[in-house]
Amino acid sequence: MNKEEIIDRFHSYEPNIDAILISKAYDFSEKAHSKQARASGEHYFVHCHAVSSSLVDWKMDLPTICAGLLHDVIEDTPVKEDTLRQEFGDEITKLVLGVTKLDHLQFQSRDDAQAANWRKMLLATAQDIRVIIIKLADRLHNMKTINFLDGERQKRIAEETISLYAPLAHRLGMFEIKSELEDLAFAVLEPEQYHSLNKKLELRVAEKEKTLAEFTQALEEALSSSQVQHRITARTKSLYSIYQKMLRQAKPFEEIQDALGVRIITDTVSHCYALLGIVHSRFKPLAGTFTDYISLPKINLYQSLHTTVMGPQGALIEVQIRTEEMNRTCEYGIAAHWRYKTGDGKEDIHLEEKLNWLRQWIEWLQDLKSPREFLESLATDLTLHQVFVFTPNGEVKVLPAGATPLDFAFAVHTEIGYSCIGAVVNNKMVKLDYELQSGDICQVLTRKNSNPKKDWLQIVRTARARSRIRRYLRDRGLEA
């Protein structure tokens, strides 16, 4: 794909914006990297081109696409910040600086360097979400070309991708990118498992093709009578998500039922529920498989109805039902909400609300001084597996799997956390290190003048709780 194709694709969704700056950034970056080659032997600019191509796929704005083209010029070429600012202005330069590593500093260890770079990138992301979107496009192409690196570097990059980048994409609701990053890393870290599962999945798709076709036809017949606007697509779980489910449930691939499924996409929320009713009246639902992520969305913006029903020949088929907007959000997450200005020039309040959790979370992470603790806490809070725990009043708190009543207490309020002395879960007294489960109702017991203890740091799992405890201990000269 050449420069003109990128500009044409940009104009397909932004027809009224002059793309001369994209052309300028393209030429500037190509010239800056002219004497560089990648490990594959390709011209280095191929990478910058690929990053900008992903950003166009995600329908990002002009400054983001330009920054994607230029994202490595300060880090990898003689181009200086002042030159970039003079040529492309403050906005694009800030985006490039946000994804530029701190390679000019000396670090005592790889952990120090990794933690410092993540801190820097997350702080830049808190100011402008587009920074992490560029970084995800950068990492996606690096993972696609990782086979040209030596084995040790492949493993290190794949581990960072699967433990930090993919979960961050998940938390931002960018499921397509998250799944692609996971599968690319999985192929590096567990090549035998990856290839074995890939073959089994291909066989199952071939075997179930007729079943899925029959089910889809019967489903279409059932839905057509409703005259509700909809479209049906087939879906396959990613290899890594299948592998993780096998590990969690201690089951072989042959016993994983929802590797294949269908997705029904419609126009309104009310139509989602109407179509669900038709599906359940026509096909027998499997007890305990219905989940409503529309009325209770995930923290990463994900919304959909999930149910598993009995298809032809007794086949179990997962059905997901969502609106077109939910589907766009599912694919691109926060990137689907990238517009910082609405038509009248006012800030997108909804986008700002969606970013509040990220900003607050980054603030908590700043209190963690140890690089290893910072990285571990980051990985924990990015976990793909969450639990939904309720207060006695019915308010839900979303926590990472493994979270304790102490984490819950701090999620309710810092002062509740400070004065916590115990907890009652589902009407039973539990220890503070009890692992909460989805659906638990947790009542925090408090006592006036009770204070956080050092050993609480060994119990809590969330960055918020850890940050608050450390701050309390530090302010009183008690920190270990």
Interval 283-297: pLDDT, tens: 999 888 899 999 887
DSSP H helical segments within 129-190, as ranges? 130-144, 151-160, 166-171, 175-189
Cα 422 from Cα 430, distance rounded (Å): 7
Output the pLDDT for position 342. Answer: 36
Pairing verdict, β 420-425 and 316-323: unpaired
For CA atoms 307, 182, 247, 403, the dihedral sign is negative
- Strands, sheet with 230-236, edge to edge from the N-terminal-most edge strand: 230-236, 260-266, 316-323, 305-310, 291-292
Task: Find tokens 């694009």 and name the residue.
Answer: 92
CA 321 to chain centre: 21
Cα–Cα distance between 476 and 3 in angstroms, integer? 59
Q: Is 76 a catalytic residue?
A: yes
> How many Cβ atoms are within 10 Å of 107's Cβ, its own excluded?
15
In order of 410, 446, 451, the CA distances from 419 in angstroms are: 10, 5, 6
CB 442 within 8 A of CB 423: yes
Give the model's pLDDT for residue 100: 83
Angle between helix axes 45-57 and 62-70 (nearest 10 degrees) is: 160
* Nearest of 352, 301, 349 to residue 129 by alpha carbon: 352
Three-state DSSP at 444 gives: strand
What is the overall mean pLDDT for the chain?
Answer: 84
With 90 as the cut, is the pLDDT of residue 55 above it?
Answer: yes
Whole-number Å distance between alpha carbons of 345 and 61: 15
Q: What is the mean pLDDT of residues 25-32?
A: 94
Task: Quote the DSSP letter at residue 462.
Answer: S
Whole-angstrom distance, CA of residue 130 vs CA of residue 52: 13
The pTM (predicted TM-score) of the whole model is 0.75
For residue range 426-467, list pLDDT tens digits in order: 999 999 999 999 889 999 999 988 889 989 988 998 888 888
What domains are there in the chain, each with its CATH number?
3-186 (1.10.3210.10), 191-333 (3.30.460.10), 385-475 (3.10.20.30)
- 61 or 312, greater pLDDT: 61
**Of these residues, 75, 190, 373, 376, which one is catalytic?**
75
Which amino acid, one-letter code, is at 225?
A: S
Q: Residue 356 pLDDT more than 90?
A: no
Considering only residues 114 and 402, tell me which one the structure prediction assigns the higher pLDDT: 402
User: CA 6, CA 56: separation in Å to the nearest integer?
Assistant: 7
3-class secondary structure, 335: helix
User: Above 70 in pLDDT, residue 135?
Assistant: yes
Active-site residue, selected from the candidate residues 14, 30, 76, 160: 76
Q: Which helix (H) or strand (E) holds 260?
A: strand 260-266
Backbone angles phi and psi of 229, in degrees to 5: -60, 130
* Count of other CB atoms within 10 angstroms of residue 206: 9
Whether the predicted pLDDT of 340 surpasses 50: no
Residue 434, both tokens: 């009890």
Percent of the chain clearing pLDDT 90 (strictly above): 41
Nearby residues of 204 by Cβ (< 8 Å), 6 or more positions away: 259, 260
**Is 363 one of the annotated active-site residues of the chain?**
no
> Residues 89, 111: contact at Cβ < 8 Å?
no
- CB of 435 closer than 8 Å to CB of 403: yes
